[in-house]
Structure 1
């Protein structure tokens, strides 16, 4: 009888220990699920393209060369109690990079941070990520009033493969909204900080007489344009969703110039019907400025013969961020003349179009 009692006493702890062993993995998994659910994830809108011509989208750029976007963000406790708000900085120039393949990119950063459900969050992101240290190139700064500033940006860049397409995006919501509505993600829809000016050309007349543009510039000593040898800065207050970009004063110069001679091969049999496509002469990325009355100055040859330079009225006005300005020139190789055939102003990113092949044309 006493032996049976001992056996029962020994069995009860064993059952208890087995119960703990069975329950522990379940508790662990539940904890991991909670941690994963409360993590702050980042993503870039898949169809946003930091693109000039054949460059990839943001994810492709990040995977291929390690570029990413930088994030600043803070949370506010007691958000709905005026005078008692407490701001706590959570992200300070955190670099977010992509992995994966086209249309299936995953964005990540380290160390991973987690939502505080009882607070309100504000974020700003910019592309491409740069250091927060002043130096010879561009750098980013941030102040106690939650204003981000991108410094030492060139006033204009000729598109030659070395240019930077600067982008910015903001987002703000209650933590509970990010968690419950967006699965813990902050999705940034980037906008272009710069404008894009594109010069294209074609010709009509004698097909054998091929035109060449030997020199081309925008602006003159009276109607000036941003100086490409100097830099400027742009800031963004991300405490409010209605904040706008604020540019520092820029230095002006006589003109923006084309770097090399370009031969025009796009020919049409019809004087008023442009070929498809026309030839790209050059592109510039520029800071916003007023181009009112800025002429387009062109020096050219036809069939190897030089002709008098031409100053063409462009009808350009305010050059705005995120806009693409296309000036299309037409040569007549019978009269050896040149004219501005078309000025097209469009959004750089075509709204409502999610086809990445044409999204940023």
Structure 2
């Protein structure tokens, strides 16, 4: 049985400064380094008091502001002005809100409140020292940087981003923006696949283009393998045509196939191999097929979680394939998932406006509007 190297477990780790942790995958759990708040503090602007007495008058003797604690302990019959977030003075156990009291001539007239615990945040009420906040394997969201910072971390131990190299193939391809002769077409996969790889947490490695020549293709693959990327993605040349040389070149280089061909549409010719301990994902050349196949297989290889747990209703009928799972490019709106008009694997129009894939099981006929189907959002 072929055992491909796991791109997740093979990666080393690196320390990443806090400002660059967004979108990175944690290599170790993050725990709070201290209690937050570190001592009892006020949840309101007002006055810190010792509880009891109901409506009463207290002598104001001190002030506690955020970043500047009180100068002395509080004694019975006294009050301390206090700001939100400021430390509760020793001897106090309640905060009277500004709305519930009045200052007159250095004294506080309490109209309401002042029961024990009122508007007091206990030590560790938000975070407790040693508390596990984020588990290893978490891809850090932007708002979670606040959690790391508040918990005492200036950065985090993260998995090193996997490097993805790309081999594009085909005599007919010209760069984007170049003049396109009648027998040629614009190379349209590289930019999209690079963006998909980055969205899955990878960094772009070397890109090599090979024409439809067996030796040139093998030489290009060998050159990419020398750089030892974590993943090589090949685009095109993986089918069985006379000018498809990727599979043969990989075999000559000693690659071992995990599989070739999947009963899915689009993307049937996709394959997965290992060569010199590098994982190779062989994609079809048709743009829709390449994008869908990378979403289904490339993202999981890079450690990104493919979420198919969500279900949504179809807003229009959808044709089944009798023997293959179909991944239908859809727009998404209030009425649900609307399959785009063109679904051919070579039709770029099937990608414009696509925001989700709908998972359609094999079968005869069509799936009716209103049917709930599993879906995955396209990044």
- TM-score, with length taken from structure 2: 0.18
Query: Which structure: larger Rg?
Result: 2
Q: Which has the higher strand share?
A: 1
